[in-house]
Amino acid sequence: MRRRAVAALAPRLGSLVGRLLRLDEGVDAPATRRSNPDAVVDCAVYVHGRREPGRPHYADAYDRSRRGRGAFVWLGLHDPDPAVMAQVGQVFGLDELLVAQALTDGHRPTVQRHGDVTLLVARTAGYVEHSELTATSEVVDTGDVMVFLGDRFVVTVRHGASGALATVREEIQRRPAVLAEGPWAVAYAVTDRMVDLYLEVAAHLEHDLERVEESVFAPDRSADIQHIYQLKRELVEFKRAVLPLAEPVRALVTVRDGGPPPGLRRWFVDVEGRLARAVDRVAAYDELLNSVLQSRLTQLAVAQNNDMRKIAAWAAIAATQTAVAGVYGMNFAHMPELKWTYGYPAALLLMTTVAVVLHRLFRRSGWL
C-alpha cells in the first residue's frame, strides 16, 4: 500500500519540484523568459516616483506600467539596430517616421509632437583630454540623444560615446518627488544633464583658449595658425550643439498643452537659465577666438612685411656694389682712374663705404 501511494504521489511531487525550481530562477510565465537586447542599457518601471525591482523586458515593463496607477516605464537604448528599433516602435506605438529618425544621428535639437508622442532631441557633448593642441586634435566629441515621451512611457535613444545617461537615471531616482511627475521628469533630467555637460566643456575650452592666447601674444609667438584653426573648428561643432537647444527648451517652458506638467515647469525654467549662460559663454569664446585668429594673421602679415623689408634693404646694399663693379667692368679705353696706381683699392673703399652707410641708414629706419 505504501509503495502504491508513493508511486501515485511521485508525478505530483515532480511537478511541484519543477515549479519551485522555475520560481527560484525568477521565471513564472513564458513571457518573462524574454531578455532585453544588447542595445538596451536599462529598463525599469517607476510607480509614484520609485523604481520597482528588477530589469524586465521592455514589453513586459510597458504592460505593467499600463496596469498600474501612477506608473510609467523608462527604456534606455544606445545605438539600436533597425530590428530592435522596429520592435520597440511596435511595442510603444511609435510611427515609422519616429523609428526612422531614431536610427540616425546628427539631428538638430528640436521638440516635435507626433500624435500622442512628443519627441525631444538634444545634442550631447564631451571634452576630449589632450596634452597639447595640434592641427588634428579632437577637442569636443558630440552625439545626440532622442527622448520619446508618451503617457506611460519614455524611450531614450542615444548615439555616440558622449552623454551617457546612467548617471542621469541614478540622480533622478534619488528625487522621487520629481520623478513622480511622470515621463516628463526624465525629459527634464536629460536636458539638465546636457546643459551640465555644456558648462563643463565650456570650462575646459576656456583653459584651451587661455593657452592659445598666451602663445599668440608671447614674445616668441609659438602659436601655429593650424592649431588655432583646429580649435576654431571644434568650437563651431560645440556651438552647433549648444545654441539650437535654446529654442526647444523655451518652447517647453511656454507651451501649455501637451508639454511638461505644472510641477516641472519651474525646473525647466532653471534649465533654460543655465542654458542661456552656456550660450553666452560659447558666443563669447567664438568672438575671442576670432580675435585671436585675426591677431595671429596680422602678426604673420607683419612678420612677412618685415622679411620683405630686410630683403629689399640687403638687395639695395648689394645693388650699389654691383653698380660700381659693373661700371669698372666695362671694356672702354677711356675711363677715369684706369691708369691710377690706387684705383683698385679706391674702388673697393668706395664700395665698402657705400655699403656701411646704407646699412646704418636701414638699421636706423628699422628695415634691418
| Alpha carbon of residue 189 to chain centroid | 19
Give 267 or 4, the one with higher predicted confidence. Answer: 267
Q: Are 189 and 163 in contact (CB under 8 A)?
A: no
Give 212 or 343, the one with higher predicted confidence. Answer: 212
- Maximum average pLDDT range among 1-5, 202-206, 259-263, 356-360: 202-206
Judged against a pLDDT cut of 80, whether residue 299 lies above it is answered with no
Q: Which three cell numbers stand for residue 67?
A: 496596469
Q: What is the pLDDT of residue 344?
A: 75
Give 22 or 132, the one with higher predicted confidence. Answer: 132
CA dist list (Å): 187 to 107, 172, 248 = 17, 11, 12
Residue 327 binned pLDDT confidence (cut-offs 50, 70, 90):
confident
Give 117 or 316, the one with higher predicted confidence. Answer: 117
Judged against a pLDDT cut of 90, whether residue 41 lies above it is answered with yes
Termini Cα distance of the chain: 124
Q: Hunting for cell 525599469 — which residue is that?
A: 44
> What 3-state DSSP class applies to 185?
helix
Q: What is the pLDDT of residue 221?
A: 64
Using a pLDDT cut of 70, give the percent of the chain over it: 88
Residue 320 binned pLDDT confidence (cut-offs 50, 70, 90):
confident
Give the mean pLDDT of 130-148: 87
Q: Which range (163-167, 296-300, 330-334) has the least confidence?
A: 330-334
Q: How many Å apart are CA 81 and CA 102, to the nearest integer?
A: 10
Q: How many Å apart are CA 278 and CA 368, to the nearest integer?
A: 49
Q: What is the pLDDT of residue 14?
A: 41
The torsion angle over the Cα atoms of residues 311, 313, 317 and 320, rounded to 10 degrees, is 100
Spell out a b/e string for 78-104, using b for 16 or more CB atoms within 10 Å of the CB, else e: bebeeebbbebbebbebeeebbebbee
Q: What is the pLDDT of residue 311?
A: 87
Give 198 or 27, the one with higher predicted confidence. Answer: 198
Judged against a pLDDT cut of 50, whether residue 19 lies above it is answered with no
Using a pLDDT cut of 90, give the percent of the chain over it: 48
Q: Hunting for cell 519551485 — which residue is that?
A: 20
Phi, psi of 127 (to 5 degrees): -85, 130
Q: Are 293 and 232 in contact (CB under 8 A)?
A: yes
Q: How many Å apart are CA 199 and CA 10, to the nearest integer?
A: 68
Residue 124 binned pLDDT confidence (cut-offs 50, 70, 90):
very high
Q: What is the DSSP letter of 52?
A: P
Q: What is the pLDDT of residue 103?
A: 92
Strand ranges of the sheet holding 71-78, from the earlier edge strand across to the other edge: 50-51, 40-47, 71-78, 153-159, 140-149, 117-127, 110-114
Give the mean pLDDT of 191-208: 94
Average pLDDT, the chain: 83
Q: For 266-285, what is each residue's pLDDT tens digit?
A: 999 999 999 999 999 999 99
Q: How many Å apart are CA 7 and CA 179, to the nearest integer?
A: 56
Give the mean pLDDT of 297-307: 78
Q: Hunting for cell 691710377 — which residue is that?
A: 340
Q: What is the DSSP letter of 80?
A: -
Q: How many Å apart are CA 278 and CA 243, to the nearest integer?
A: 9
Phi, psi of 224 (to 5 degrees): -95, 140
Judged against a pLDDT cut of 90, whether residue 71 lies above it is answered with yes
Cβ count near 207 (within 10 Å): 10
